Structure 1
Amino acid sequence: MDFTAGEDHHHNQQPIDHLLSILLLLSDQIRHAITDSKSYKLECTEVGKLIDHLSKMLRSFVRFTTTTPSYDRPVRRVFSDLTRNLTRALTLVRKCRRRSIFLRVVTIVSTSEFRKMFSLLDASIGDMKWLISIYDVGTDKSDTGVVLSLPPIASNDPIIAWVWSYISSLYLSPLSVKIEVANELCSLANDNDRNKKMIAEEGGIPPLLKLLKEESNFEAQIAAAVTLFNLVNNEDRARLVTGELGVPVIVQCLHKAPIRVQVSVVKLIARMAENDEVSQEAFARENVIRPLVTLLSFDTVDNLYERQSIHSVFKMNKIGSMANSSSATTTWSINRKERENEPSELKLELKTCCARALWMLSRGNLANSKLLTETKGLLVLAKLIETETGELQTNCLMNVMEIAAAAESNPELRRAAFRTNSPAAKAVVDQLLRLIQESEIAGIKIPAIKSIGSLARTFPARETRVIGPLVKQLSHQNPEVVTEAAIALGKFASPDNFLCTEHSKTIIEFDGVIPLMRLLRGNERTQLHALVLLCYLAMHAGNNEALVQARVLTALEGADKSIVGQHSQLRQLMMEAIHQLNMYHAGVIPSQRVSHSP
């Protein structure tokens, strides 16, 4: 069943009808060689019978090359194997034309060779019988079943025969059978990654995408979307879907499909974006973010926003005429009415999936994060973080964390999306602070803390309300929460922050020094970030008596040398901080009394 790379490439390049012609020509050559045979006449005659049987099957197969859609993977594999066997049969029979006993002995033609040849030709007959049976499904309209017999070519790997049968049925069978077949492929893909790889490599993705276009049959769309979802759990297969121009097909399903289909399609979008950067970019080019935000905002914001978002979707998709725009809006209006009657659990699932898809699209992607903020996405995320719990709230929070991380590294996005007077930015920050203070779940606290840290450069000096809750987390029982709080505060006090001096003083005023000193007894990661933050405080507020009372200078001088030695930047920071504190102790810098915040 395994072919050399050269043979496989050769057969993949030639049209099926050309390969069929070669096989028929080989059959004729074998017959002529049998007629000329002078030895092993009985065995050659038996070979001739098998060749005649194969010729009839090959000629009957000719009709499939012109009357059925093209799925030729199993055909090429069977034909390649058959070509080899016929070539060997021709060579063997030609040896029997020689009359000389001496030459007959030299060529060592034996009965065992013929027995082996009979076995090979019998196997080829079995392969052809199976091949004809799976293509007959498409021509016999009364037959709605799927052929799952095992051809000799797949005797060592039955799964490949099932995959070939299923995929050919996706091309040839009635729609009801295609749905059944898609579900069977889905089950097969669930078993293991090898099956997923086989389905993709044997050409299963194009017919599944075609099935996804069946707007008249929602079950077909769901079956196709769920099967594709199971296939694209790695980068290669996600990229295969994108390479087959699947992204526009997938996005189109969001516009007209009912909510059950949308749930499956949005899950597919999320998984592809999660596993493949190319797919992530491709979805952005198809403007998928706006319809996802629209679906996420259902029942969350006012109808005016929804109508505006819907209009934007079709404008972005270059549907230019007023007639098309009107028709598109009508479709969304119908979907809205249908959605209102759907179970609340299904609507919640759709929102949860949309939030995850947006999270995966924005994760590590500046352009997509920017696109999301250009919608009312931030406002929607803030509202859902406020009103929801569980997975939906978490997905929305992770969205915000990714956008904040993008804004941290991009001043343009930071200025556009997180202006001080922006209602969306204020709503987001309010919810982040609420979660930091009220949530008892580390998985909620940590992304909220990270988000505030990423936005550190957006807060004015007077915005001290964000620092107090972070300082309080330095005393949290969870070491991960504590460490993330120290990292976030470090971004406020870092020299990269224009207001680092003011923020450093505020951290001290909120009694941040004592809990920081306790962190020097934590794990290596905690100690590292606690030392960094202490250095920043010493550098920017070294004349504050709170640092003296906590004996920060002694702590820095006695810091764990193994940690300091591993980080050259920390070593430089500590030298500057110690120098600053020594200058204060020497009276070079006037002292500043500590003032505690209420």
Structure 2
Amino acid sequence: MDSGEKRIEEELSRPILLLEHIRSAVDQAESFKLECSEVWKQVDRLSQMLRTLVRFATTTPSLYERPIRRVAADLSKNLERALTLVRKCKRQSILRRVVTIVTAADFRKLLTYLEASIGDLKWLLSILDTDGAGGGGIVLSLPPIASNDPILSWVWSFIASIQMGQLNDRIEAANELAALAHDNDRNKKIIIEEGGVCPLLKLFKENTSPAAQIAAASALCNLANDLERVRVIVNELGVPIVVQVLGDSPMRVQICAANLVARMAEHDPVAQEEFARENAIRPLVTLLSFETFLDDPTGQLGKQSIHSIVQINKELEKKSLGRTNNRPLANSYSSSSFHMEGSSRGGNHKKDRENEEPQVKLQLRVSCAEALWKLAKGSVSNSRKITETKGMLCLAKLVEKEQGELQHHCLMVIMEITTAAETNADLRRAAFKTNSPAAKAVVEQLLRVIKEVDSPPLQIPAIKSIGSLARTFPARETRVIGPLVTLLGHRNIDVAAEASIALSKFACPDNFLCVEHSKAIIEFNGVPALMKLLRANEITQLNGLILLCYLALHAGNSESLEQARVLTALEGADRTVIAQHPELRDLVAKAIYHLSLYHAGGHSERLSYLP
């Protein structure tokens, strides 16, 4: 109930009071007595049903009030009509009777209104189930109050079943709401406005039935597709509930919880922050790494990850009650999140997880990776938390061994972390130190994807990640330059454009080693490939031009630049590209001037480009 709303008993007291006034007015009627008698018959039926509703409302601990308030408000209007009409039938002066003319048609119209209210109350009592059975199932009949919008009555019936029904009815109703929410945004709006979020969260939180939790999560996921609706879930304290379910539930329910984290974090930055505050990242990393390190034929990543697991277990020993003692190392890590979250039931589903089908385990990892991706997106603090949970090694291992969605999502997590590190020096120094085993493992897998995996959806995040880390590589680390230069000639325009953007981050003036990196790009024969990019579409032309300018500024005396006639190309770009991108005017002018100093034929005409 909203703070501004009256208590439900107060809402129902007004129509009851009106009923008494109508009784008195009928007794005093002098004209149209037969019609007034018919009115009273209808009002008496309403009185009996209304008093039944009041008894139910005052004795039911978990009452769904929205349809009651709407029906009660509509009933009050109709009873006011009845009271006004019947009072006109009281003995009055001749003048008064002439002014207030009453006709039989008025009574026919009033009886229609009262019949509608009887239908509303009958329907309302059916969905609230006043027989004491604790929930009478889903009612799909259409009450008169919702005759113009049947979806409204269905939503009321489903929400009432979820809040007050038996378990099977609650599951069915949650699935029906999920289907309605999936259809269109208008249905989502109605479900939100009619208070469907709170009962769904309550059902999701209860651990009595995985089927019920999955149904509730499906409905919530379908609702959470824009900021406003996600914010409603957050305001209903949904974030702690989701994290709790993520920490201690069967694997299939954890998949739904992870999907809900991803959906909410994607659409609302407040939800993104709340999940981090509730420490959702640690259980996500834990579930992502489930069984990841049990089979490592190379031994390299395995050794590193075992060290990470030991470190995590040391932290857990300080915070838990020692229940992890004498537990196998891998299993201890797989349940670490539950202890970290303070759950006393962290190992309840361990055996179930071990016996689950492989496709379910895979889907859990996919969902957790997507959730981490959305949590890390645009967030330095969340990216830092992922690196602090030793998640980098897990991500590197999965990129190496997995394929499809899981590999893609892990690459996207890495891309978001490296993007955050590019803008935050502290994170960059902490997570991507040159001697860090985790950083080395990640870079190795990024380079492997760039060189060996011919798939743009996978190559592009890997390229972006390497570009974001440009300032972390020493001058001698030229092995990252070569693969990027090779991709400048890739048949996929987007891959080529991303490669030029990444190389620009190595060669830009903000990079302390821009001169050394520029020379490396030229040595790997990057200039001819860049010249071809200038003849491609606008995107590659623009990015290729920027990189060429950086090469001219930092390695202008290179013979490769002269042989490729870069100066002529820049002069041509100055007349074409600059017209569309005036912000590059100064950069191109400086590059032309710098090349003119070194190359033969640097006449005064070219020197005039000096800003």
What is the TM-score of this pair, normalised by structure 2?
A: 0.90
Q: Look up the match of 1:281.
A: 273
Amino acid at match of 2:45: H
Amino acid at match of 1:90: L
Distance 2:543 2:461 in 1: 17
1:235: Cα distance to partner? Answer: 1.7
Distance 2:20 2:351 in 1: 68
Q: Look up the match of 2:328.
A: none
Distance 2:320 2:394 in 1: 29
1:121 aligns with 2:135: no
Q: Look up the match of 1:112.
A: 105
Distance 1:314 1:522 in 2: 59
1:243: Cα distance to partner? Answer: 0.8
Cα gap change, 1:368 to 1:173, in 2 (>3 Å): same
Q: Look up the match of 1:592.
A: none
1:252 aligns with 2:251: no
2:54 pairs with one of 44, 59, 62 = 62
Q: Look up the match of 1:136.
A: 129
Cα gap change, 1:307 to 1:159, in 2 (>3 Å): farther
Distance 1:362 1:265 in 2: 17
Find the residue that maps to 2:368 and give its secondary structure: helix
Contact 1:287 1:313 in 2 (8 A): no
Deviation digits for residues 131-169 of structure 1, max 9, x if unmatched?
11222267225x753222211101111121111111111
Deviation digits for residues 415-439 of structure 1, max 9, x if unmatched?
1111111111111111111111111
Contact 1:208 1:224 in 2 (8 A): yes
Q: Look up the match of 2:64.
A: 71
Superposed counterparts of 1:226-375, under 5 Å:
226-301=218-293, 305-306=308-309, 309=312, 322=321, 331-375=345-389
Q: Look up the match of 1:83.
A: 76
Q: Look up the match of 2:150.
A: 158
Amino acid at match of 2:238: G
Can you give the 5+ residue segments of structure 1 that lack an aligned partner in the other structure?
1-7, 589-598
Contact 2:369 2:413 in 1 (8 A): yes
Distance 2:138 2:453 in 1: 54
After TM superposition, the structure 1 stretch with the greater mean CA deviation from structure 2, 91-100 or 161-170, is 91-100
Contact 1:291 1:313 in 2 (8 A): no
Can you give the 5+ residue segments of structure 2 that lack an aligned partner in the other structure?
294-304, 326-334, 603-611
Superposed counterparts of 1:544-583, under 5 Å:
544-559=558-573, 561-583=575-597
Cα gap change, 1:137 to 1:421, in 2 (>3 Å): farther
Q: Look up the match of 2:530.
A: 516
Q: Look up the match of 2:608.
A: none
Q: Look up the match of 2:496.
A: 482
1:491 aligns with 2:495: no
After TM superposition, the structure 1 stretch with the greater mean CA deviation from structure 2, 98-107 or 200-209, is 98-107
Amino acid at match of 1:191: D
Cα gap change, 1:273 to 1:168, in 2 (>3 Å): same
Amino acid at match of 1:152: P
1:187: Cα distance to partner? Answer: 2.2
Contact 2:127 2:136 in 1 (8 A): no
Cα gap change, 1:9 to 1:81, in 2 (>3 Å): farther
Find the residue that maps to 1:475 and give its secondary structure: coil
Amino acid at match of 1:42: L
2:419 pairs with one of 401, 405, 410 = 405
Cα gap change, 1:223 to 1:172, in 2 (>3 Å): same
After TM superposition, the structure 1 stretch with the greater mean CA deviation from structure 2, 372-381 or 27-36, is 27-36
Contact 2:127 2:137 in 1 (8 A): no
1:365: Cα distance to partner? Answer: 1.2
Distance 1:274 1:244 in 2: 18
Q: Look up the match of 1:387.
A: 401
Distance 2:65 2:315 in 1: 43
Deviation digits for residues 52-78 of structure 1, max 9, x if unmatched?
111111111121122111210000000
Q: Look up the match of 1:594.
A: none
After TM superposition, the structure 1 stretch with the greater mean CA deviation from structure 2, 547-556 or 208-217, is 208-217
1:548: Cα distance to partner? Answer: 0.8
1:36: Cα distance to partner? Answer: 2.1
Find the residue that maps to 1:270 and give its secondary structure: helix
1:210: Cα distance to partner? Answer: 1.1
Distance 1:217 1:310 in 2: 31
Find the residue that maps to 2:173 and give its secondary structure: helix
Contact 2:443 2:466 in 1 (8 A): yes
1:321: Cα distance to partner? Answer: 6.2
Cα gap change, 1:170 to 1:304, in 2 (>3 Å): farther
Distance 2:442 2:530 in 1: 28
Find the residue that maps to 2:573 and give its secondary structure: coil
After TM superposition, the structure 1 stretch with the greater mean CA deviation from structure 2, 560-569 or 284-293, is 560-569
After TM superposition, the structure 1 stretch with the greater mean CA deviation from structure 2, 99-108 or 426-435, is 99-108
CA RMSD of aligned residues (A): 2.3
2:189 pairs with one of 197, 207, 214 = 197
Deviation digits for residues 449-507 of structure 1, max 9, x if unmatched?
11111111111111100001111111111111111111111111101111111111111
Contact 1:474 1:485 in 2 (8 A): yes
Contact 1:179 1:220 in 2 (8 A): yes
Q: Number of residues paired by the alignment?
A: 575
1:216 pairs with one of 201, 208, 212 = 208
Distance 1:515 1:400 in 2: 28
Deviation digits for residues 263-308 of structure 1, max 9, x if unmatched?
1111111111112111111111110101110111111136674575
Find the residue that maps to 2:102 and give its secondary structure: coil
Cα gap change, 1:334 to 1:165, in 2 (>3 Å): closer
What is the TM-score of this pair, normalised by structure 1?
A: 0.92
Q: Look up the match of 1:396.
A: 410
Find the residue that maps to 1:13 and give its secondary structure: coil
Cα gap change, 1:443 to 1:321, in 2 (>3 Å): closer
After TM superposition, the structure 1 stretch with the greater mean CA deviation from structure 2, 227-236 or 351-360, is 227-236
Amino acid at match of 2:555: A
